[in-house]
């Protein structure tokens, strides 16, 4: 499987990091080794002093597809989830300044939290509420109605470049409110008022 991540898909998050609004989705990948094993803590890597959480709604692909038309994209996923794209912000900043790829900052081991998936039929995909709590305080709140590109548009765009395969996961972007984690933080992701994951930071 592969993890396909979308950057800059919520206007307020673009603004909080002083980024430019993109004309098309920003895409990067994480390897399967980035997946944090279930019930395991997230260990802050030694190469960063500024790891940020970014909560995101996830799409799980259910069959092989390439050059998928947006009007048929809904046939390529049955489940929706929630996760975290952990980011080494200091490393990312260094990479950006040098015009280098972001993988060291985004694709390191354990950088992808994948919570429980639920059937898409149980949700209104155009307005899914989700949030992240850090130590029981809400730090991020989002709704899919505020995405610049919705699920079907993302699948259509990404499938121009990558063949989508069963089990692939698309991280659809994070809303405003990203921030740093420190040792002993507890992060809880909530999708439509139901807990999707809980991660302790070490």
State the pTM of this model: 0.95
Count of residues for the chain?
Answer: 202
Q: Which CATH superfamily is domain 3-200 in?
A: Fumarylacetoacetase-like, C-terminal domain (3.90.850.10)
Query: Which region, left, alpha or beta, applies to residue 154 given φ > 0 means left and ψ of -120 to 50 means alpha?
Result: alpha
Q: Could you identify the residue written with the tokens 């992808």? A: 112
How far does the chain reach from its first CA to its final CA, in angstroms?
27
**What are phi and psi for residue 43, nearest 5 degrees?**
-95, 125
Q: What is the pLDDT along the chain (202 residues), one digit of tens a residue?
A: 999 999 889 977 656 666 777 789 999 999 999 999 999 999 999 999 999 999 999 999 999 999 999 999 999 999 999 999 999 999 999 999 999 998 999 999 999 999 999 999 999 999 999 999 999 999 999 999 999 999 999 999 999 999 999 999 999 999 999 999 999 999 999 999 999 999 999 9
């Amino acid at each position: 499987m592969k993890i396909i991540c979308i950057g800059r898909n919520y206007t307020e998050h673009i603004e909080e990091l002083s980024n430019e609004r993109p004309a098309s989705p920003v895409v990067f990948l994480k390897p399967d080794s980035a997946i944090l094993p279930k019930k395991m803590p997230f260990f802050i890597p030694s190469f960063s002093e500024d790891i940020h959480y970014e909560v995101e709604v996830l799409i799980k692909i259910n069959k092989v597809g390439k050059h998928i038309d947006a009007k048929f994209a809904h046939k390529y996923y049955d489940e929706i989830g929630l996760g975290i794209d952990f980011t080494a912000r200091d490393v990312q900043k260094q990479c950006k300044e040098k015009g280098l790829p972001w993988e060291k900052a985004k694709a390191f081991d354990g950088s992808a939290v994948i919570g429980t998936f639920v059937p898409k039929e149980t949700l209104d995909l155009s307005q899914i509420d989700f949030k992240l709590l850090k130590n029981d305080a809400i730090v991020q709140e989002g709704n899919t109605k505020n995405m610049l590109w919705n699920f079907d548009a993302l699948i259509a765009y990404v499938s121009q470049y990558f063949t989508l395969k069963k089990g692939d996961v698309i991280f659809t972007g994070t809303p405003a409110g990203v921030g740093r984690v420190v040792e002993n933080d507890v992060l809880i992701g909530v999708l439509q008022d139901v807990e999707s994951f809980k991660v302790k930071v070490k």
